[in-house]
């Protein structure tokens, strides 16, 4: 595990917000799909969704429909949702459980859950045809802390290398054992980058989130990841509050017995490129999957995770945590929507970042690096 050495700031003088086209240009969005989302390790959700062999769900990444499944031997797989015969979509239901095989509804080409083509009607009459030459197109898949990640690239960077900075960093939170207690999908009327940038700073919190600011003072805490694709740090939970909840009380059991005392009074917030926002609290975790739908529209899927005993303990109150962040999230979606409208003006020009906005400025630098700029 890497040594935890938080720093208060990584502010670089002269940092400015991105130009208008980055939030309004269809061609830039298309380039983002190719340069960032199609080449990166995208989080697709929790491994617990694939509890049994045959379980599957669909995810869209960079315009591609991907089948994420656990095959009949228990191995995690990801396949492009494309039949090798004439390209027809294989799965249309968002999730479900497969039998021994997966069959195309058009001409009945049939695949084992490990992707092998096992049935191709009348192709025995085609000279040289070999079913072994036509498996489903696979995408790389990896598991980290109970989360699943998919990479569409033909030769992706190994996950353990790409995510080396995070290996073991959150082990004390016991993330793989946590259980989802609530899920919501938000339709945000703003560019996906505004969602990331907004999440990356709390300078706006006193004005936009008075409830949040009373529990987590925006000047408290420090960042421990200040450059690169993974950014963020902690904020202090203001006494007498025990957690970030509507009442200020803990909503249930600690997420892990391994959580040190200092972290029982802190909340941690990280942006993990390209599509995961991770919020860690002493008694629950919530995360957000960010998917651009258009230059001015973003889908944000969120789940709240709890210790299993929290969900079975009658004395717990998970709504206390859910309502706190649902309120905060909706306030954020409203203000980033207003930001999208303002940035779309022909009079908008990039403005200067303050020292309290060092993380969104660092996020911009990493974004431009991945886009091939400077």
Instruction: Give the CATH fold of the 42-160 domain.
Output: Rieske Iron-sulfur Protein (2.102.10)
Q: Are 152 and 38 in contact (CB under 8 A)?
A: yes
Contacts of 270 (CB under 8 A, 6+ apart): 225, 230, 231, 232, 233, 277, 278, 280
**In whole angstroms, what is the distance from residue 252 CA to residue 320 CA?**
10
DSSP string over 286-326: EEEEEEEEETTEEEEEEEEEE-HHHHH-TT--HHHHHHHHH
Please tell me whether the overall predicted TM-score, pTM, comes out greater than 0.85 for this model.
yes
For β-strands 297-306 and 222-225, DSSP reports them as unpaired
Which tokens is 138 given? 């696979």
Q: How is 192-247 classified by DSSP, letter by letter?
A: HHHHHHHHT--TTHHHH-HHHHHHS-TTS-EEEE-SSSEEEEEEEPPTT--SSSSS
- Residue 111: in which H helix or E strand, if any? strand 110-112
CATH 2.102.10.10 domain position(s) in the chain = 42-160
Walk along the chain (374 residues) and give the pLDDT tens digit of each residue: 334 444 445 557 678 999 999 999 999 999 999 999 999 999 999 999 999 999 999 999 999 999 999 999 999 999 999 999 999 999 999 999 999 999 999 999 999 999 999 999 999 999 999 999 999 999 999 999 999 999 999 999 999 999 999 999 999 999 999 999 999 999 999 999 999 999 999 999 999 999 999 999 988 889 999 999 999 999 999 999 999 999 999 999 999 999 999 999 999 999 999 999 999 999 999 999 999 999 999 999 999 999 999 999 999 999 999 999 999 999 999 999 999 999 999 999 999 999 889 999 999 999 999 999 75
- Say how far residue 100 (Cα) sits from the centre of its chain: 31
Chain centroid, CA 40 distance in Å: 12
Sheet holding 101-103, edge to edge: 101-103, 110-112, 117-119
CA–CA distance, 289 with 301 (Å, rounded to integer): 5
User: Which regions of the chain carry the CATH code 3.90.380.10?
Assistant: 21-39+168-370
Two tokens, residue 42: 């995208």
User: In the CATH scheme, what is the code of domain 21-39+168-370?
Assistant: 3.90.380.10
SS3 content of the chain, % helix, strand, coil (to 5): 30, 30, 45
Tokens, residue 339: 């930001």
* DSSP, res 258: T
Report the length, in residues, of the chain: 374
Cα–Cα distance measured from residue 135 to residue 28, given in angstroms and rounded to the nearest whole number? 33
Give pLDDT tens digits for 266-309. 999 999 999 999 999 999 999 999 999 999 999 999 999 999 99
Q: b/e string for 38-47 if b means 16 or more Cβ within 10 A?
A: bbbbbbbbbb
Pure H helices in the chain: 21-24, 26-32, 159-162, 192-199, 205-208, 210-215, 308-312, 318-343, 358-370
CB 245 within 8 A of CB 320: yes
């Amino acid at each position: 595990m890497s040594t935890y050495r938080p720093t208060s700031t990584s502010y670089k003088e002269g940092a400015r917000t991105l130009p208008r086209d980055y939030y309004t240009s269809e061609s830039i969005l298309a380039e983002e799909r190719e340069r960032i989302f199609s080449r990166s390790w995208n989080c697709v959700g929790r491994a617990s969704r694939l509890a049994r062999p045959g379980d599957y769900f669909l995810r869209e990444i960079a315009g591609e429909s991907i089948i994420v499944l656990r095959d009949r031997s228990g191995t995690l797989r990801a396949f492009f949702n494309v039949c090798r015969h004439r390209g027809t979509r294989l799965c249309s239901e968002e999730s479900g459980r497969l039998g021994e095989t997966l069959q195309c509804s058009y001409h009945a080409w049939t695949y084992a859950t490990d992707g092998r083509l096992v049935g191709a009607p009348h192709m025995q009459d085609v000279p040289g045809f070999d079913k072994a030459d036509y498996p489903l197109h696979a995408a790389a898949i990896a598991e980290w802390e109970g989360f699943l990640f998919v990479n569409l690239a033909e030769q992706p960077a190994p996950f353990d290398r790409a995510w080396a900075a995070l290996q073991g960093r959150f082990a004390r939170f016991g993330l793989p054992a946590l259980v989802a207690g609530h899920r919501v999908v938000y339709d945000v009327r703003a560019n996906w980058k505004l969602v990331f940038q907004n999440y990356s700073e709390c300078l706006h919190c006193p004005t936009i989130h008075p409830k949040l600011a009373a529990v987590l003072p925006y000047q408290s805490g420090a960042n421990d990841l200040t450059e690169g694709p993974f950014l963020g740090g902690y904020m202090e939970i203001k006494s007498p509050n025990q957690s970030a909840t509507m009442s200020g009380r803990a909503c249930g059991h600690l997420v892990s017995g391994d959580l040190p005392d200092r972290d029982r009074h802190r909340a941690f917030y990280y942006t993990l490129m390209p599509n995961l926002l991770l919020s860690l609290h002493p008694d629950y975790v919530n995360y957000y999957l960010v998917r651009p739908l258009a230059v001015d529209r973003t889908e944000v899927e969120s789940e709240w995770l709890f210790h299993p005993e929290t969900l079975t303990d009658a004395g717990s109150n998970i709504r206390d945590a859910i309502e706190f962040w649902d309120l905060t999230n909706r306030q954020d979606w409203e203000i980033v929507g207003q930001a999208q409208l303002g940035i779309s003006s022909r009079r908008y020009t990039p403005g200067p970042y303050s020292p309290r906005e060092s993380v969104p400025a660092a996020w911009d630098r990493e974004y431009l690096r991945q886009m091939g700029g400077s």
